Amino acid sequence: MNFFETGLSHLNAAAKKIALDPYEVERLSYPERIIEVVIPVTHDDGSARLYHGYRIQHSSLLGPYKGGIRFHPKVDKDEVKALAFAMTIKTATAGIPFGGGKGGVIVDPKLLSDRELERLSRGYVRALYECLGPLKDVPAPDVNTNSRIMYWMADEYERILGFPAPAVVTGKPIEHGGSLGREPATGEGGFYILQEFLAQEKRDPKTIKIAVQGMGNVGSYFVRSAQRAGCRVIAVSDSKGGVFNREGLDISGILRAKEEEKSLVDFTGGKRITNDELLALDADVLVPAALEDAINDGNAGAIRAKVILELANGPLTGNADAMLSEKGVTIIPDVLANAGGVVVSYFEWLQNQNKERWSEEAVLAQLKSVMIKAFAEVHKVSNNMKVPLRIGAYIVALRRLSKAVQRRG
């Protein structure tokens, strides 16, 4: 089962639980629009090349399409379609007025100069201009894209439009209409969800051992929050491997090493481990915060953690999810756990539309409120209907989407 098929299986399981109209299930099983573009880019040496890209608009039932744009050599239509579908479920679970979309370009950005990257970014917007807009489709950063690329995209859109429209993308630099609090949003939001879960389970955060796979932006902000709350982070890793200390790692030292662009395998405050060894540690909470399908048929059987907090998109394959659920592992799903990023993207969009600027404290307070409410709704459905949290999240989302279908006809 691929990522999209896994999502559809969760959709069908949730739909069955609430006897959703088959027409509504079918409507959500297909994207509303699949757009493929070819982007010509002139390289610095004068040569030209065509780059292939996608924008998949899955659902606009609850509002404008919303979702990131990734630049990666392995981008393909099926992956983008799956991620667009996941965004529809995520925004509906969080209760924010957006639909789901996703974009990507087949490119290795490491092979491009800054000027070539800018030409590609602006070319993507030119190719998709008619499909984008603050009330149509609002992209954001994703894998290998960042605030600078979002600035280029917003600037190109405004150049064609002829007047300012900063809400056309989110994740922009602060000085160009970005929101304070956007950088920590996904990691912080994920920790708010974990806190709520621990409170429901009547567990003291100070007794919790956590292992985190992936120390990019999301993992880094998550471990900061976990440390502040007194949790013991016993292992972290990056793409090259990781480090483990049963008594708890020096998180300040880990973050300094990351800022200095040092690999965690060289960190001296613990034992060197592989990513597979990290997944098999005796931790209370395992946090996959890196890649899709990180936990799969090959390694799911080795997992000893009783709770998995999905901060990456789709870090468990369908089979791994079923296997671990059967073993009694609680899986806090990505569509809930990592929704903090899109929630603060919504706040950025609101600030742009209303010509406002919120403080970071206000942004994070609002984020916490939205995440706590979303967890409470999902947890209540999960308990009342005796379903896993993932199916609970899909049920919350489907109820909102179903109402929109019925209103529209």
Whether residue 63 is predicted with pLDDT greater than 90 in this model: the reply is yes
Give pLDDT, residue 196: 98
**For residues 332-349, average pLDDT:** 98
Domain span at 228: 185-337
Task: Give me the CATH number covering residue 95.
Answer: 3.40.50.10860
* 230 and 283 both lie in a single domain: yes
* 122 and 233 both lie in a single domain: no
Residue 327 lies in a domain: yes
Whether residue 142 is predicted with pLDDT greater than 90 in this model: the reply is yes
* 136 and 266 both lie in a single domain: no
Long-range contacts formed by 227-236: CB under 8 A, 24+ apart: 227/251, 229/191, 229/195, 229/205, 230/205, 230/206, 231/205, 231/206, 232/206, 232/208, 234/209, 234/210, 234/281, 234/283, 235/211, 235/270, 235/273, 235/278, 235/281, 235/283, 236/211, 236/212, 236/264, 236/278
Give pLDDT, residue 110: 95
* 251 and 304 both lie in a single domain: yes
Residues with a catalytic annotation lie at 102
Residue 51 lies in a domain: yes
* pLDDT tens, residue by residue, 169-209: 999 999 999 999 999 999 999 999 999 999 999 999 999 99
Residue 386 lies in a domain: no
Q: Which of 281, 304, 337 is the last residue of a domain?
A: 337
Whether residue 46 is predicted with pLDDT greater than 90 in this model: the reply is yes
* pLDDT tens, residue by residue, 359-399: 999 999 999 999 999 999 999 999 999 999 999 999 999 99
Sign of the alpha-carbon torsion through 146, 151, 153, 154: positive
**For residues 196-223, average pLDDT:** 97
The answer to whether the annotation marks 17 as part of a ligand binding site is no
Rounded to two decimals, the pTM is: 0.96
**For residues 243-261, average pLDDT:** 93
* 146 and 266 both lie in a single domain: no
* 258 and 332 both lie in a single domain: yes
Residue 179 lies in a domain: no
The answer to whether the annotation marks 317 as part of a ligand binding site is no
The answer to whether the annotation marks 66 as part of a ligand binding site is yes
Give pLDDT, residue 3: 86
The answer to whether the annotation marks 368 as part of a ligand binding site is no
High-pLDDT (> 70) share of the chain, % = 100
Task: Give me the CATH number covering residue 288.
Answer: 3.40.50.720
Residue bearing tokens 């639980």:
17
Total domains in the chain come to 2
